[in-house]
């Protein structure tokens, strides 16, 4: 007898969310643009969310550091940012992030579609769950492979220099690495280093969002001989050139990921199915209420 799928027959109308990093504070060419404040139980997001349409398809943009770059990586309210995206109906989330390179073959201007992270941060709230409602979510494969493949295809079609796969080392900041740290991270096999994608990726998984990172190289980290010769002007020039390419990438990928689809083949949208540990009778109602957007699918089914 033929095998039958246990997955329900569901059609999802995707809504693409974009989180823009350093140098990317707006998305031009959006139609029906509207900046809108979104309230969350976790506090205020980095900025208002920008709603609009590209190619007739809806999307939502959030400048990670706020317009004018006013929030440092440590001070970002990662939980509010992810909750806000989930709360407005985002299903697919692309993170665009400026990074330093830890490999010679990843020069400034190169794009890396990351597939792994190492989290070296220590001063951030990293989970929506805790006392009153405990959950343990797998982040063994923290990036949606479906989104990653779509991003690679779109980047290559645009002629952008791109590498699929690589490990993003997330440091606390706001200072950059010491030379010894940079060499250590190289020895671990990391590809790029930045300050923002953790706990962002972990929280996106807890919120059952399909998530992918495009790491945009602005410079070599301090491991490389001649690093001190790199000027701020050169880095800024690369930063804004990368931002322009990132906007092109968003325009290219939206017609692909914005079409109706079934459940995610990577299982991102079902990450919480077996993750809640606290018995229903022991869950704190106040905590459950805060989780209405990120975990409503499983909490309402209990």
Residue with tokens 């807890």: 206
The region, left, alpha or beta by phi > 0 then psi within -120 to 50, assigned to residue 84 is alpha
Residue in 48, 43, 130, 38 with CA at minimum distance from that of residue 78: 43
Q: Which pLDDT score, from 0 to 100, does residue 285 have?
A: 96
Q: CA 197, 93, 262: angle at the middle one, nearest 5? A: 140
Q: Which pLDDT score, from 0 to 100, does residue 301 have?
A: 80
List alpha helices for 75-172, DSSP H.
78-87, 145-157
Catalytic option among 92, 119, 221, 269: 221
Residue 280, burial from CB neighbour count under 10 angstroms (0-12, 13-18, 19+): exposed
CB 278 within 8 A of CB 300: no
Identify the bridge partners of residue 163 per DSSP, sorted by sequence position. Answer: 112
Q: Which pLDDT score, from 0 to 100, does residue 10 have?
A: 87
Cis peptide before 131 (omega within 30 of 0): no
Q: Which pLDDT score, from 0 to 100, does residue 229 have?
A: 62
Q: What is the CATH number of domain 16-299?
A: 3.40.50.1580
Q: Which pLDDT score, from 0 to 100, does residue 230 have?
A: 64
Q: Which pLDDT score, from 0 to 100, does residue 2 have?
A: 43
DSSP helix/strand/coil, 116: strand
List alpha helices for the chain, DSSP H.
78-87, 145-157, 179-187, 197-206, 232-257, 285-290, 296-299
CB 83 within 8 A of CB 294: yes
Residue in 125, 20, 34, 18 with CA at minimum distance from that of residue 66: 20
Averages of pLDDT over each 10 residues, the chain, 302 residues: 55 95 87 96 98 93 96 97 98 97 96 98 97 97 97 97 98 93 97 97 98 96 81 85 94 93 95 96 97 95 72
**What is the C-alpha radius of gyration for the chain, rounded to an integer number of angstroms?**
19
Calculate the dihedral angle through the C-alpha atoms of 295, 296, 301, 302, rounding to the nearest 10 degrees. 60
Question: Does residue 284 have an active-site annotation?
Answer: no
Residue with tokens 């990670």: 64
Catalytic option among 47, 219, 269, 292: 219
Distance of alpha carbon 135 from alpha carbon 49, whole angstroms: 28
Question: Does residue 233 have an active-site annotation?
Answer: no
Distance of alpha carbon 243 from alpha carbon 264, whole angstroms: 28
Q: Which pLDDT score, from 0 to 100, does residue 4 have?
A: 44
Distance of alpha carbon 246 from alpha carbon 61, whole angstroms: 13
Distance of alpha carbon 131 from alpha carbon 50, whole angstroms: 33
> Which whole-number Å values give the CA distances from 218 to 57, 97, 212, 233, in the listed order?
30, 10, 19, 11
């Amino acid at each position: 007898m033929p095998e039958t799928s246990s997955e329900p027959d569901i059609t999802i109308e995707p809504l693409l969310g974009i989180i823009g990093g350093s140098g990317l504070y707006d998305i031009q060419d959006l139609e029906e643009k509207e900046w809108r404040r979104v309230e969350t139980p976790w506090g205020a997001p980095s900025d208002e969310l920008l709603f609009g349409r590209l190619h007739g398809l809806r999307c939502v943009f959030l400048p990670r550091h706020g317009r004018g770059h006013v929030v440092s990586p440590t001070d970002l309210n990662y939980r509010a940012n992810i909750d806000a995206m989930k709360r407005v109906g985002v299903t697919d989330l692309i993170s665009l992030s400026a990074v330093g390179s830890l490999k010679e073959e990843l020069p400034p201007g190169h794009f890396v579609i990351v597939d792994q992270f190492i989290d070296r941060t220590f001063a951030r709230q990293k989970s929506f769950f805790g006392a009153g409602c405990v959950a343990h979510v797998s982040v063994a494969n923290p990036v949606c492979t479906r989104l990653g493949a779509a991003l690679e295809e779109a980047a290559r079609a645009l002629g952008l220099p791109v590498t699929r796969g690589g490990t993003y080392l997330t440091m606390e900041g706001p200072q950059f690495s010491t030379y010894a740290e940079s060499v250590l991270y190289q020895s671990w096999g990391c590809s790029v280093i930045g300050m923002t994608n953790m706990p962002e990726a972990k929280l996106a998984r807890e919120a059952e969002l399909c998530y992918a990172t495009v790491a945009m190289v602005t410079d070599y980290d301090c491991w490389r001989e001649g690093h001190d010769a790199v000027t701020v002007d050169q880095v800024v020039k690369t930063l804004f050139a990368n931002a322009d390419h990132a906007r092109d990438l968003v325009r290219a990928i939206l017609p692909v990921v914005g079409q109706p689809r079934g459940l995610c083949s990577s299982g991102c949208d079902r990450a919480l199915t077996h993750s809640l540990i606290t018995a229903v009778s022991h869950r704190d109602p106040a905590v459950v209420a805060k989780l209405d957007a990120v975990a409503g699918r499983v909490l309402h089914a209990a």
